[in-house]
Structure 1
Amino acid sequence: MFRPCFVLPRHSIHCVLHPPLPPCINRDSRDSSRGDRVRSASCLSVAQSLSGGSEPGGRKKMDAEQESRWAAAQAIGVGEDLVPAALRHLEFLAAVDRRRWLYEGPLLHRAIRRYKACWLPLLAKHNEAAVADEPLVVPLDCEWIWHCHRLNPTRYIKDCKRLYGRMLDSKNVRSSIHAKSKDQSEKVWTELYPGEPFELEYTSPSDDSVYVDDGTAGGISYDLISAVKRQSTFVYQVGTPNMHDRRFLEDALARYKGFLYLIKMNQEKGMNLFRVPTYDVDLMWHTHQLNSVAYCNDMLCLLGKVLEHDDTDDDRAEGKKLDTGFSGTTEQFENSFGVRYWKAGAMYRGSLPSPVTSIPQIFSTSEDDSVSGADKAEKHLTILETTVVELHLQIVDIKNLPSSIPEKSVYVWFTKTKPDAFIRDGGRLDISTKTGKSIGAGFQCEPTGDLILTVMIDQAYFGASSSSKKPEPLGKVSISVEELTQHDSKLSFERWFELKTCGAYAGSPPVSLRVAASCTVPRQAPHVLGMVNVKPCSLKACLLPHSIKDQNMSSWTRFVYDCGTELIRLQIREHKAKSGMALTRELVGVTKSSKQPLQLAEFTENKWSFNNSNSSITLDLKPSKDGCINELKYDNKLIKLYKGRRLAYELKCCSQHTDDTAAVTAVKFSAEHPYGKAVALVDTESEFISVDEDWFLLPWIAISFLFLNSIGKDGAKLIEGAMAQKAETVEPDTTVVSQTVKGGAAGATAGSAQCGACGTAGCGDMVMASDKAGHASYGSSVTASDKVADSKCGGCGSGCGGGCGVSVVTMSYKNGHASCGIVAGGENGHVESAGCGSGCGGSCGGNMVIESSKEGNTESGGCGSGCGGGGCGSMAIEGSKAGIAKSSGCGSGCGGGCSGMVVEGSKNGHAKSGGCGSGCGGGCGGMLIEHSKTSCTKSSGCGSGCGGGCGSMVMEGSKMRHAKSGGCGSGCGAGCGGGCGGMVMEGSKMSHAKSGGCGSGCGAGCGGGCGGMVMEGSKMSHAKSGGCGSGCGGML
């Protein structure tokens, strides 16, 4: 899975600059003094000319000049230690965000009046002579308005001088969230403003009872309401674990000084240009401005005037001022210092998620205890912990390339040595200096193992005669991800690596690759588990797939990690009460370490009550005013359930993707999160869950099971009948499992992503690297450009429902749309619709069309038009090696849930419909694992009108010859009821099998449930109808 770490930052400034410097040809390592903070007593005067070229001497001179500039930038004086100040700044912003009534509404207006009429006069007195023996404490609401006022330093200075004759300083003033004692400050406040509370709370009245000095209040011309509105979203952009890491902040300070250095350089040229900071730089800039006197003195020393902070531009559209300003800043920063401006964790995170409520939940205590204690079942869980980082990787330059190799013919393919929960294959990266574009890849991975960078030579650049040859490796280098992310690292590097050449180039001079990488602070990844329905089987039926519905068999649901490890399995069963013959229902779970099923919940009085808590779920889920469908109460916290993807799970996309009724989000309310924090998600269509906090894992598993088994199609009500089926407890070791994991890590992407045709989110990991700075909002695909092949619809067509799993379209630039799939979309051929067609319902599971076409065409490797989505699994993993696969996934109208269809669609022949035909109802299991080895398969899956649930049909449809309908095909034609089991396990070894399963036998009206028909339909001859005849009632 890939997720980009870059897009345009929000804030920008307008200053005097010279034109962007010409691009440097080569770059060397960073200066060792990058993290130093040196106080300079005098202003810097720097107007260094650039020189250099492609010659070695020019390269060394250029590198020396870049190092010199960086050292000069680090000598810029800052009158405050900004790293600890930034940490206090972040803590303050989080405190304000817990009081969002200060962002808008009547209480904001009252806070502004209190700031003007109460705080500023008190601060003026305190600046003249201390009004208390201890630092003066500012009320939080007044501090917030003061904060926003100071972030326009020129207006703040102007207003202060107009009212008080001087700039008011923050010296000897403490924030209310950091002060050890407020007693003296409250006393002074009460004496000056009797009847006015020191702190403004949510429950405070919003009337005009506040003391107002009209002269003072009227002396401020700055629009504080608009300033508050602009700053209210800043906390979302910087409220990440990276911004709280001292290593990250030390580097941010160094980058901020580099930013100021560029302003100084360009000011001397006297040109007006727009420069835009990244968010780590902007955090340091904001922190610096909050110490108004120090900031004023530092800017006067550096620039001769106070540097204005203009945050009014927020239009990120291509070609607009913010977009062009950021591009110019990136170019100038990299050319001046030889280091990348992009940085993981420092870029725009996308727009603020829509809130679930505007009314905060009030808690009596700030403690957020997980639970009172783990219950018996939780003690038996073996939880797999996974750590994740976001990594930004860019190939900057290459040198010592053999003269026989054209520079533009080489690119880099990156993979990972150790198995990774987020990266399955890898991706392509072009070399920035050779393409003239500063592009990179942003993705998620585990902080383990090594990245393997292999320099590849594209043979297409050597003429038409070589165009069919595979890319040839030149050499490779290994880079440790662990070293980049460990505790004593700087979380970034940029340096040269010498390749270990291979093949025909093994004896050539060593080739070097310049690599820039940065990563975020490692954090625990959410727990993502798929839900798998299983049945115990008798010896007679053990070879049949789980889709055969035998009502006499007990059913379990397994919760498994993406790696296949089972955490727990659940079942609803009935048992007799001790006091009589009445039957009661209970939800039980079994783990590998538990010998007996453990009760998790019990059904009484029309609701499910969970063990070890006072929480329950009723059968009548009526949304409240804020959309909540159920509440779960725990110690010092409240869990509310909302339909759809909410908060961190929100799909930031177009209107047709916003209403995801198949999902339910759990939002935790506590003193720390009074407006809610998304902690878990269940997708009842794709059948996976994601849980962010360990304590909630088992409760959410139980809740998700009930939603999956008891929720109606509208997603609104639990249906009792769905849970009333009689079930018998079965020991785990007696169960034979036929499974398909529909969800997996791919489906649980919490952030947003760009969605192919509609340009918005949710279809896995898209836009992994693009050549434009501002058009990838947190998802990942488009890893590298498709140089040889065209990709008309690499991902989803119009109307894709999103959530389509792990996708990485091997690099396309600005115009490469992708959404639902393709790791290697087309190497030498065309891919017209490798992912989902128009109208795909989304959530199509894992890796669709991983190798859709090696040397031929794939017109529809994934789902056809109208696919219902919902976990179509690994469709068309090898759609076509040397031939054509027109529809190896689902045809028009497929209902989704078709699992691992067409794993090896066609090796040397055609596969016109390897998966389901038009109108398939979905749920067709592992169909067509190897449907054709050397010949044609026209419809080896389900034909038109299949009812779905057809199990593992046509495991080996045809070894040597034709199989026109190895599964339901023309047999299940119109009206097959589904559940046709393991039909035609070996349809034909040496000859034809026109209908190895239901075939023409099941024609019209097959009732389904036809068992294991034609396990070996024909070894040496023909089998026109090895299964059911016309009108078969099923259950043979």
Structure 2
Amino acid sequence: MDGEQAARWVAAQEGVPVGADLVAAARRQLEFLAAVDRRRWLYEGPLLHRAIRRYKACWLPLLAKHTQAPVVDGPLVVPLDCQWIWHCHRLNPVQYIRDCKKVYGRILNNDNVESSIGTKSKIQSEKVWKELYPEEPFELEYTSSETTMDVNPGATEAISYDLISAVKRQSSFYYQVGTPTMHDQRFLAEALARYKGFLYLIKMNQDKGVQRFRVPTYDVDLMWHTHQLHPVTYCKDMLKLLGKVLEHDDTDADRSEGKKLDVGFTETTEQFESIFGARYWKAGCMYRGNMPSPVTSTPQIFSTEVGNGSDICKAQKDLNVLDITFVELYLQIVDIKNLPSAVPKENVYVWFTKNQSDMFISDGGRLDISTVTGKTGASLQCEPTGELILTVMVDQASKKPEPIGKVSIPLQHLTGPDSKLSFERWFELKAHGGHATSPPVSLRVAASATVPCSGQKVFSMVRTEPFSLKSCLLPHSIKNQKMGSWTRFLYDCGTELIRLQIREHKVKNAMAFKRELVGVLKSRKQQLQLAEFRENKWTLKNSNLSISGSPDGSMLNLKCDNQLIKLYQGRKLEYERKCCKCHSEDASAVTAVRFCSEHPYGKAVALLDTESQLIMVNEDEFLLPWITISFLFMDADGQDGVELISSAVVQKAVVSGSDPAIVSETHTLGDRSAAVAPVQCGTCSTALGGEKVMAGCKTDHASSGACPAAVASGEDGHAESAGCGSGCGGGNCGPMVVEDSKANNAKSGGCGSGCGGGGGCGTLLKASTMTGEGQAKSKSGGCGSGCGSGGSCGTLLKSKAADRDSMVIEGSKASHIKSGGCGSGCGGCGTLINSSATAGQGLAKSAGCGSGCWPAVAAAVAGCPVAGDGGFGSSSVSSLQEE
């Protein structure tokens, strides 16, 4: 902020009247919305209609009596269903004021009224309710039977506002704001300040006689909603500020580019940043995409609150699980000053990276410097540790880019407990080489972050089978060899959590064989008994989960105390692909959905991708059972009669894997992001309310989702891309396997440059059978440079088989691999594993992604936006109404 902008900000904070404690009230509103979301029968259907009748005929008359003369000692408690309808009614403040004055002659306020959520006692309120409405229960539950209410028809007909439509519009709001960041006290305090700035803009426009459509971000919208829930206070504050009651228009939901909502958000962003010199975009308050499709419309009702998952597995404490946390980070380079006179400003950009290894950032990415208001920066995810390194680079015509200087910013300053989760200020650079200037070159950086959250655990399943000459000569011995194989579960960093093996031995004093699944913890050399095969099905050991059939369309049921875990085929809920409808149902995926009192409609807690052989788990308590179940799914063989339950047969043919007769150790990597959701296609992830910017691409390229291709070539061969030619727009690009001892040419095997809508870009497998002779240089195995944030980019597997019967992933002397998975700017990348048999000869510049890859791993947590998936609140200002 310059001096004038800072003065306007102070004027907004001091001059905009807010007569209620919105921060505390916002937290109460979030708790209330969570309770309603657990009762989605109030979103639609017969119980919604009944709730509306109860609100009009019962609650409003009771509230009118209470506001004239208290009917109870202390606050009056409102039934939850009535509070929900009241909530939606008040979010159209002009209509609510009009209806109240029409029926009751005054505004019915929320003074001395308390929610049934969190109240200490509602005995008095229930007593008064039963005296007035003896045939109507105080709380409306899902099991409540329909009754005909004997009410005065005038009490309901006098209120003409379409409450059913209002409820429908508000039913998705909690999905946008029900995040840990929105509950943070620091974040809410900043949200209140930004809300006052938002109202200040409206006041400025009104004073100039300009009527503009202003659109809030979701943190601002939360505060705006909270303000309106105090109808008398809101009316007084708006009359004082504007002379009129500010309308809250939530009827426009079309976020398409160029439409009213999109244009309004862009103009609001530009005006906010121009007036205050502060960024309007902010991590944690942008649009998260549509609500995931529900797996059921019927809630699971549990008798008690017990069953949060903590007691699912008895052996869980023995696992040495890595604690992975992440933050969503918004980063923008706003300006630069004191550049050397010989350096053109238009040739300067910033390269960001971390000073230590990060599960989400590999090589970092490029950020352009933009002094234009309304432009957006990079939206990414990273671990909240270490330092962010910003290096100022200069593009040179005939030389590689040269660094001018750099600055290190500890992420603790942004995400620590004493931080405000955002900053915008100047940083002096530490000069590089001969670029020292006086005063020093300085960079203005704007950054914001969400609160640190626990990241989901992602593991690859790697089968290690003992090599046996007998298995090559006698194919029928493969089954016996398989029995002695190990399956290792590895983190991305290569750390092993556990390895599993099926063992078979004779039972004492019997001819029968006993088959069991055991796990060995590498860290402690401890053995766990995980499952046992009895009566033609598997049963879990060391777990309170029992397996049973499912009559409702799901694959399996896992029961434990007061909770239920159902297994569904395909990606469900948080794992659902959100970008577009071009992705068909993913038959290779299995989603575990937990139902309990906290999540009666289900919460996705784990996913297995049988094609890539990756598993993900959102809740640590379910980790070991899911590893066990995933292994059994991958290992099941219908021909042998091996089933999890008698009615659920998982055919081995479903799983695409290597022939164990010829593979000694197979790293089944597949595409790294194939099992990760949500991700965005290049053709359909255009940012709403701003440009989509990817860390690996220049801003002007990123908006189209297709960057120019980088083509790598070598003396003996080249790989331009892996799967499709330039501009591929298809849903799935196939794998390409190149087996050539000398030519080693692979023009496509995943996606070419600017792959625009791939649901899954293929895998480039480079196999060389010549020792030391085959050379392969590939810049991309899966997608070309600038893959447009595709659904899933492939994995580059550089393999060489020589002198042995086993195939391993290796690097030879001539093998140079710059990127495994994607080129720069990709939206969801594969994994590069480069295992060299000759130390120091295998080179790998990037593990998983090229420069600036958007990590899709943590995006699967709470469905966070990827690659700057822009967003804004569901409400907007259309007009000022005078009352």
The match for 1:749 among 676, 694, 699 is 676
| Structure showing greater Rg | 1
Amino acid at match of 1:343: K
Deviation, structure 1 residue 584: 2.2
The 2-side partners of 1:828 and 1:737 are apart by: 32
Alignment of 1:672 onto 2:572 = no
Cα distance change of structure 1 residues 224 and 711 upon mapping to structure 2, 3 Å threshold: farther
Distance of 1:632 and 1:441 partners within structure 2: 41
Match of 2:184 among 245, 248, 259: 245
| Superposed CA offset, 1:518-570 (max 9, x none) | 000001111111100002347x999xxxxx96954621100011111111111
Alignment-mate amino acid for residue 495 of structure 2: T
Structure 2 residue aligned with 1:1001: none
Task: Check the 8 A contact 1:873/1:900 in 2, yes or no.
Answer: yes
Q: How far did residue 202 of structure 1 move? A: 0.4
Conservation of the 8 A alpha-carbon contact between 2:565 and 2:594: yes
Q: Name the aligned partner's letter for residue 569 of structure 1.
A: R
C-alpha deviation, 1:574, in angstroms: 1.4
The answer to whether 1:271 aligns with 2:210 is yes
What is the CA–CA distance in structure 2 between the aligned matches of 1:868 and 1:219, rounded to whole Å? 52
AA aligned opposite 2:69: A
Residue 737 (structure 1) shift: 7.8
1:389 aligned onto 2:327: yes
Write the distance in 2 (CA, Å) between the matches of 1:858 and 1:593.
Answer: 41
Q: Is the 8 A contact 1:861 1:887 kept in 2?
A: no
Distance change (3 Å), C-alpha of 1:611 and 1:756: same
- For 1:21, the equivalent position in structure 2 comes to none
For residues 762-795 of structure 1, give each alpha carbon's deviation from its aligned partner in whole angstroms, at most 9, with x where no partner exists: xxxxx8xx7x63575xxxx8324359xxxxxxxx
C-alpha distance in 1 between matches for 2:796 and 2:631: 23
- Match in the other structure for 2:748: 860
**Structure 1 residue 605, shift from structure 2 partner:** 2.0
Q: Residue 442 of structure 1 corresponds to which residue in structure 2?
A: 379
- Measured in 2, the distance between the counterparts of 1:155 and 1:897 equals 50
Q: What does residue 701 of structure 1 align with? A: 627
1:414 aligned partner, one-letter code:
F
Give the distance between the partners of 2:815 and 2:54, measured in 1 at CA. 79
Aligned-residue offset at 1:670? 0.4
Structure 1 length as normaliser, TM-score? Answer: 0.69
* 1:275 aligned counterpart, secondary structure: coil
1:175 matched residue in structure 2: 115
The residue correspondences of 1:130-149 to structure 2 (distance < 5 A) are 130-149=70-89
Q: Helix, strand or coil: the match of 2:10? A: helix
* Aligned-residue offset at 1:380: 3.0
* Distance in structure 2 (CA, Å) of the matches to 1:898 and 1:294: 56
1:718 aligns with 2:649: yes
The answer on whether the counterparts of 1:531 and 1:743 sit within 8 Å (CA) in structure 2 is no
Residue among 559, 567, 570 paired with 1:641: 567
Q: Indicate yes or no: 2:432 matched with 1:505.
A: no
Deviation at 1:490, TM superposition (A): 0.5
Q: Is the 8 A contact 2:335 2:369 kept in 1?
A: yes
CA–CA distance in structure 2, aligned partners of residues 933 and 567 of structure 1: 30
Query: 1:235-314 residue pairs with structure 2 within 5 A?
Result: 235-314=174-253
1:198 maps onto 2:144 in alignment: no
SS of 2:245's equivalent in the other structure is coil
Cα distance change, pair 834–442 in 1 and its aligned pair in 2 (3 A): farther
Pairing 1:525–2:455 present: yes
User: Is the counterpart of residue 154 in structure 1 residue 94 in structure 2?
Assistant: yes
Q: Tell me the distance in 2 between the aligned counterparts of 1:398 and 1:452.
A: 16
Within 2, Cα distance between the matches of 1:872 and 1:91? 46
SS of match in other structure, 1:267? helix
| Residue aligning to 1:557 | 487
Asked if the contact 1:927–1:953 (Cα under 8 Å) also holds between the matched residues in 2, the reply is yes
Cα deviation per residue 1:628-656 (whole Å; 9 max; x = unaligned)? Answer: 11000112211000011100010113334
Q: Which residue of 300, 322, 325 maps to 1:361?
A: 300
**Is 2:723–2:762's contact at 8 Å kept on the other side of the alignment?**
no
**What does 1:346-745 align with in structure 2 at a 5 Å threshold?**
346-372=285-311, 374-375=313-314, 377-433=315-371, 438-460=375-397, 466=398, 469-507=399-437, 509-537=439-467, 551-552=480-481, 554-593=484-523, 595=525, 597-613=527-543, 615-617=545-547, 624-625=551-552, 627-710=553-636, 717-719=648-650, 738-740=665-667, 742=669
Cα distance, 1:952 vs structure 2:
11
Q: In 2, Cα distance between the equivalents of 1:656 and 1:593?
A: 44
Correspondence 1:184 to 2:66: no
Return closer, same or farther for 1:711/1:598 CA change in 2, 3 Å cut-off: same
Higher strand fraction: Structure 1 or Structure 2?
2
Structure 1 stretches lacking a partner, 5+ long: 1-27, 29-62, 461-465, 543-547, 724-735, 761-766, 788-810, 849-856, 877-881, 904-913, 916-922, 935-950, 960-1036
In the alignment, which residue of structure 2 is the partner of 1:929?
811
1:230-283 deviation digits (Å, cap 9, x = unpaired): 000000000000011001000000000000111111110112210000000000
Partner of 1:118: 58
Deviations 1:794-819 (A, max 9, x none): xxxxxxxxxxxxxxxxx83211337x
1:873–1:365 distance in 2 versus 1, CA, 3 Å: farther
Deviation track 1:93-112 (CA, whole Å, cap 9, x = no partner) reads 00000110000001100100
Secondary structure of 1:359 counterpart: coil
Q: Deviations over 1:700-730 (max 9, x none)?
A: 000000111127799995348899xxxxxxx
Q: Which deviations, in whole Å up to 9, do the C-alpha atoms of 1:938-993 show, x marking residues without a partner?
A: xxxxxxxxxxxxx999989xx9xxxxxxxxxxxxxxxxxxxxxxxxxxxxxxxxxx
Instruction: Give per-residue Cα distances to partners, 1:869-899, cap 9 Å, x unaligned.
Output: 69838989xxxxx9996997799xxxx9996
Task: Write the letter of the residue equivalent to 1:782.
Answer: M
Alpha-carbon distance, 1:80 to partner:
0.7
Q: 1:70–1:258: 8 Å Cα contact kept in structure 2? A: yes
Letter in 1 for 2:501: Q
CA deviation string 1:808-840 (max 9, x = no partner) = xxx83211337xxx9x95699999746656667
Contact 2:72 2:125 in 1 (8 A): yes
Quote the residue 2:701 is aligned against.
812
Pairwise CA distance, 1:474:
1.2
Could you say if the C-alpha distance between residues 828 and 68 of structure 1 is closer, same or farther in structure 2, counting changes exceeding 3 Å? farther
Give the whole-Å Cα distance in 2 for the aligned partners of 1:897 and 1:234: 32
User: Structure 2 stretches of 5 or more lacking a match?
Assistant: 472-476, 655-662, 738-744, 768-774, 785-791, 817-832, 842-883
In structure 2, C-alpha distance between the alignment counterparts of 1:659 and 1:489, rounded to whole Å: 43
Distance 1:379 1:240, change over 3 A: closer
Q: CA deviation at 1:72?
A: 0.6
> What do you get for the CA RMSD once the two structures are aligned?
3.9
Partner SS state of residue 539, structure 2: strand
Output one character per residue of 1:351-402: Cα deviation in whole Å (capped at 9) or x when no partner.
0000000100000111334344753x43432111111110000001111122
Deviation of the 1:294 alpha carbon: 0.7
* Structure 2 CA distance for aligned equivalents of residues 840 and 658 of structure 1: 9
Aligned-partner Cα distance in 2 for 1:897–1:222: 49
Which of the pair has the greater relative contact order for Cα pairs under 8 Å at 6+ separation?
Answer: 2
Give the Cα–Cα distance (whole angstroms) in 2 for the partners of residues 604 and 661 of structure 1.
Answer: 28
Go from structure 1 to structure 2 and tell me whether the alpha carbon gap of 1:500 and 1:94 turns closer, same or farther (over 3 Å shift): same
Q: Tell me how far apart the structure 1 counterparts of residues 17 and 180 of structure 2 sit (CA, whole Å).
A: 28
Q: In the TM superposition, what is the alpha-carbon distance from 1:64 to its structure 2 partner?
A: 0.7
CA distance in 1, matches of 2:71, 2:711: 74
Question: Aligned-pair distance for 1:488?
Answer: 1.1
- Count of aligned pairs between the two proteins: 772
Query: Under a length normalisation based on structure 2, what TM-score does the superposition of the two structures give?
Result: 0.80
Identity across matched positions, percent? 62
The answer on whether the counterparts of 1:902 and 1:931 sit within 8 Å (CA) in structure 2 is no
